Chain A
Amino acid sequence: MVSKPFDSARLFAAVAAARMARLASRTLGRGGGSTVPGVVARRVDPGVLTELSRRLPLGSAAITGTNGKTTTTRMISRILQTAGVRAVNNSTGANLVTGVTAALVLDSDLFGEPASEMGLFEVDEASVPKVAAEADLQILAVLNLFRDQLDRYGELAYTGKVISSAFEDLPENGSVVLNADDPLVASLGRSAGKPVYYGVDEPALDTGRLQHIADSKDCPLCGTALHYDAVYMGHVGVYDCPGCPFGRPVLAYRASRVRLDGARGVDFVLQAPGGETEVRLNLPGLYNVYNALAAAAVAAEAGVGLEHISRALREFGGAFGRVERVKAGDREAFLLLIKNPVGFNEILRTFVASDDARHVLIAINDNHADGRDVSWLWDVDFEMLADARLEGRTKGASPFTVTGTRAEDMAVRLKYADLPVGAVIPDLEEALKTALEATPPGETLYVLPTYTAMLEIRKTLSELGYTHPFWED
């Protein structure tokens, strides 16, 4: 990085302009208030991010990956708070370099002095190199790489390359925190100065089947099909390569004795270089164990002790809009965001196949933010559910209600899995009302929406007067 002479007048102008921009965008009631100040500040002073991030005494950490960025970042934020560290965050949806800049600019006073001690940023995969080149990253965490919105990012291996190209911008003692159980993510460790791996050891969670998802079942180094001792979800598990020395790296942070407690949460034992602690998480599913592990690893690498980590995770409620329970009169709506086949499979496994979810509304939209291509529905393992029913392992839900711009596609998918389809109602509001009515009083309607469907459903719930979420971050 070329160090330019520091121009304090210019920095002052950038910070001032950004504040004006924020004020203006708030007054005008326009969206984009979380990135506009960043755009403006960068226009006035292109070096603003570099300069401001250098002033954070504890440096910064960035979190990237396909799934769980928001939840993990919020977990870390809670841990840092518990440990008394003041950290500045970018807001969700503002995870490009402009959003990171905006967060830092608005955290600083007019002279560019930050109120916080540390930066904590959720960063879009493709933006990692730019953020790493400008912000003073001490830690970079890569959670996982799944096929998600391929129309935006293209090939997975390419995304991996883009992320690892940023490693050289970290200082020598800077930690690259990597999910060891995701082969492609683990393979990035070879180009990291100080790779730190985390993963899960829990044979009871082996699904025994590779889900039908083509992400990364071949060795990222030599292309040989990987041999798996355990498959936890998608291509994530315990593996090694029969064709070359590549295998799952040695774990620095490890979750074991993982006990899934239905919709309520999960318990596990966290082992770290600094010791061992029991963790109770009030968020369901194995994917949240991975989020918590990543959060623990980042926090510990930043110097936070295990007692703070364990306490903060126990108190953590979840990220807004990802998993949410809303009281809907004498019923309850349980919203579980669906992003891709792996997440969908996890939700089916955790709730529907465990008989927790007896009343289900699936809401599939194909707007840009959902991914316009819905062919991924065919990669979701609905057949697992049908098998579980056939074998009598689950009584099963009442017929699924389906809705959204792609309600009809979803209905066909269920039909071909021999699962019962109830009402097909493309209009979300009408579908939600119908499904709530069909849910007996005192019971819960499980709503499985894609991103923009989630937004619409939240809006409808609030218009119906059902606004009080049980879990709020």
Chain B
Amino acid sequence: MKLTIHHLYADMMNLYGDRGNVISIKKRCEWRGIPVEVVDVGLGEPIKPTGCDLFLFGGGQDREQTLLVEDLAGKKGADLRAIVEDGGVVLGVCGGYQLMGHYYETPEGEKLPGVGVFDLHTEPRKPDEERLIGNVLVRVRGPEDDRWREIVGFENHGGRTYLGAGVEPLGEAVVGFGNNGKDGTEGARRLNAYGTYLHGSLLPKNPWLTDQLMLNALRRVDDAFELEPLDDAAERVAFESVANRVRHG
């Protein structure tokens, strides 16, 4: 069984070390002897699922975001919607997360339509508002086992995201701004699709989340699949170091 990582718009949307998320999944497969392949899906190129897939959709600059909207308006967006409805595993970060909602409004007032897999929209930063920047600590409840866990990362976004009724947040921002700096929510989750503002990079310091994404993908082929435990001491120390710092301001 081979896991395929589809890195959407890898060449345009890899701001803020999104590459770290790809490397994280890839290495954690390799260390366990699970065959893994990274496929870059560029502008105008179709998504080609293989059955055991993980889709990563990272953040980009505004100029690039506009180019993507057109691409997503066609078959690719429809395919992505179908993948999510079918329980496919998707992780959207920052700009990618925003484009998984209904629309993203630019500071110039232009509404860029998103894929709409999450019931949410993103409003621009008002002239008197700051960009939301800093280290974040989020409490996440995994629907798999209903346990609360924590993730850390770094956020840097101007847009304010508001969730609709049809979507749950990924978690609550214990420290940091999260979706909009107002309602305490961070990210979104629907079935096996995750969206978040945390980059920095997200997965390297939160290996349980990496493993959960991998397991979600692998179990679509073999529902008894188990992951061998890895030595995560270095990751744990890095997580604790950031978590302790943000907790104590």
Contacts and interface: CB of A to CB of B under 8 A. Distances in A.
Of A155, A156, A377, A378, the most chain B CB neighbours within 10 A belong to A378
B204 A412 contact: yes
A429 B247 CA distance: 25
A225 B11 contact: yes
A411 B17 contact: no
Given A151-B156, A155-B61, A421 B200 contact: no
A150 B199 CA distance: 14
A409 B24 contact: no
Contact of B205 (A212, A218, A407, A409): A409
Given A157-B63, A212-B14, A377-B17, A408 B156 contact: no
B64 A378 contact: no
Interface residues of A, number: 35
A285 to B, nearest CB: 23
Interface in A412-442: 412-413, 415-418, 421, 424, 426
A157 B234 contact: no
Interface residues of B, number: 37
Interface stretch (A40-48, A54-62, A263-271, A367-375): A367-375
B240 to A, nearest CB: 8
Nearest to A223: B67
A157 B133 contact: no
Nearest to B239: A408
Interface in B172-226: 199-201, 204-205
Contacts of A254: none
Nearest to B241: A408
Interface of B: 11-20, 23-24, 27, 42, 60-64, 67, 131, 133-135, 154, 156, 199-201, 204-205, 234-235, 237-238, 241-242
Given A214-B64, A408-B237, A413-B204, 16 more contacts: A155-B61, A157-B63, A212-B14, A372-B133, A372-B154, A374-B154, A374-B200, A375-B201, A377-B17, A409-B241, A411-B234, A412-B205, A415-B234, A416-B20, A416-B204, A421-B234
Minimum-distance CB pairs A-B, first 5:
A378-B20, A375-B17, A378-B17, A408-B238, A375-B200
14 contacts: A151-B131, A214-B60, A218-B64, A223-B67, A373-B200, A374-B200, A375-B20, A375-B199, A377-B17, A408-B242, A411-B238, A412-B204, A412-B238, A416-B23
